[in-house]
Amino acid sequence: MTRAGALLLLCAALVLIVGGKCDDICQALRDSINLFISGSHDTYIEQVEKYNKTSDVPETADTLKSCADKSLTAEDKQDALSALEKDITRKVETHTLCKNIITKN
């Protein structure tokens, strides 16, 4: 799988996870990146269900995670984590919603 493909799968996974509790969105983004790329299938689905109660969302997440687990090599996973680690952290922490939450804590 190409790096672009890996990033596309990751973005799709993030959309599924962050649909719920706004208070936890910053931490949810950080956690979901690691869970989607390197976590177990069951752990990732539990995380999705934590933030999304609609049955269609966990079903889609299940399909997406299965596809990623079958398609991504260890090198693909490491490349995706390396490419996203700094950029995602910076963007999440500077996002207006997250800045407000971080300031409150």
Q: Which CATH number fits domain 3-104: 1.20.920.50, 3.40.1260.10, 2.40.30.10, 3.40.50.2300?
A: 1.20.920.50
Q: What is the pLDDT of residues 58-71, one digit of tens each?
A: 888 888 888 888 88
Domain-wise residue ranges, the chain? 3-104
Kindly tell me if the per-residue pLDDT of 12 is higher than 50. yes
What DSSP state is assigned to residue 95? S
pTM of this prediction? 0.56
Q: What is the pLDDT of residues 34-47, one digit of tens each?
A: 888 888 999 988 88
Contact 36, 84 (CB under 8 A): no
